Structure formats: C-alpha cells, structure tokens
Amino acid sequence: MPSQQSVLHQAYSTYQDWNLAFPEEDDIPYIMEDDTNPTTSDLSWIKPPPGWVKLNFDASFNRESSHACLAVVGRNSEGFFLGGTVSKVKATSPSEAEVLAAELAVMFAMQKQWKEAILEGDAKTIIQAYGDIVEASSWT
C-alpha cells in the first residue's frame, strides 16, 4: 500500500495539473444528479486482482455553460497510482457527462495498453446501463 505522504504528493500534483487544465475563470459550481452522490458503502476503494488495473472515473457538469469536467485515475492491485487524465467537454446533462467520463476511461486504458482493466464510477444509472449492454451482448 502506498504511504500517506506519497498519496498526498500525487494528489497535490494532480491538483496542480487540474488547475493548469482548467483556469480559475472556469470555476463555477457544478450540478450533480442524485444518483452520482456516493453512499457510505461507495467510499471504500476495493483493490483489483493482481495484474489488473482499476480505473475510477467521474464527471461534474455545469448546466450554465453546458460543459463537463471529466477525470480518470488508474491504480494497480497495490493501490499505486499508475496514471490519470482529465478533460473538459461539451455536454447536455450530468448523465451524458458520466457516460463521457466512462468513455474517457476506456480510451485511456487503450492508450496505456491495459488489457486487464476494471472500470468503476459512482453514477448508478450509468453503471447499470453498461451492465445491461454487457448482458444483452453476451454470447452465453
């Protein structure tokens, strides 16, 4: 498991990158749908199996500007930060923003050539929709 100091250092570094990507003039409160609010059980991170990467994705949405900020963080089975990415895109709703964040996570995994990856997000309706797609496209 990474030390508290290394996690704080990585968080600060990511914060600095975020501020470079999204200058202060863009700082406007973001609106989230009810299903994007994490519950207490959502707050503990579960490690992926050895050799796998877990990609956590999230989005915030600004209704006034129709922009969404997307973030993806990849960690290994030891909890070590492997990489991350952020993006600012046009979106029409918080749900669309979450879908775009999931898509960004998939593209990031492909870019890094991570073949064994688990995607995790907190928007229940989006996660359920992906589950329905996988179930509907199953060959079994």
Q: What is the pLDDT of residue 11?
A: 65
Using 50, 70 and 90 to split pLDDT, how confident is the model at 125? confident
Please work out, in degrees rounded to the nearest 5, the angle formed at the alpha carbon of residue 53 by the alpha carbons of 49 and 7: 105
Q: What is the pLDDT of residue 37?
A: 47
Domains of the chain: 4-136 (3.30.420)
Q: What is the pLDDT of residue 41?
A: 46
Q: Which of 63 and 34 is assigned the larger pLDDT? A: 63
Q: What is the pLDDT of residue 107?
A: 94
User: In whole angstroms, what separates CA 57 from the centre of its chain?
Assistant: 1
54 has pLDDT over 90: yes
Q: What is the pLDDT of residue 48?
A: 94
Query: Rounded mean pLDDT of 36-53?
Result: 71
Q: What is the pLDDT of residue 28?
A: 40
